[in-house]
Amino acid sequence: MDLCGPMRMQTINGKKYILIIIDDYSQFTRVKLLRSKDETPEVIINFITQIQVGLNKTVRYVRTDNGTEFVNHTLTEYYERIGIFYQKTVPKTPQQNGVVERRNHTFVEAARTMLIFSKAPMFLWAEATRDK
């Protein structure tokens, strides 16, 4: 998982960050838009709970960079409590988290392309990427 932002322009709802979570095995991707980095732990915990309860699957590993939104007491305690092995990439080495880094780039470029093509204002970037 990775957090992208802050974006130059916030959404209509005031969101400036993109949290991308990818399952390495299935490539299932979940994108969440956040107002601030402080929302990250709650969103991650809710997502993992949804996966484990809704799909009856066990999340075994989580890999992130060393951003403070990921490396904090709340998430560390949660991972230990439910038995998730937490992997942090080496600082300044985005290649170790390449799948999600590439997805970040693709997501932002897709939004930009759709807005330019449709001549829509840039603050609609989040709406341009919503699932229809």
Which segments in the chain show pLDDT lower than 50? 131-132
pLDDT of residue 127: 84
Domains assigned to the chain: 2-129 (3.30.420.10)
Q: Give residue-wise pLDDT tens across range 84-97.
A: 999 999 988 989 99
Tokens of 30: 């979940």
High-pLDDT (> 70) share of the chain, %: 98
pLDDT at 54: 94
The model's pTM is: 0.90
> What is the rounded CA–CA span in Å between residue 74 and residue 55?
24
CB-based burial, 79-100: b 16+ in 10 Å, e otherwise: beeeebeeeebeeeeeeebeeb
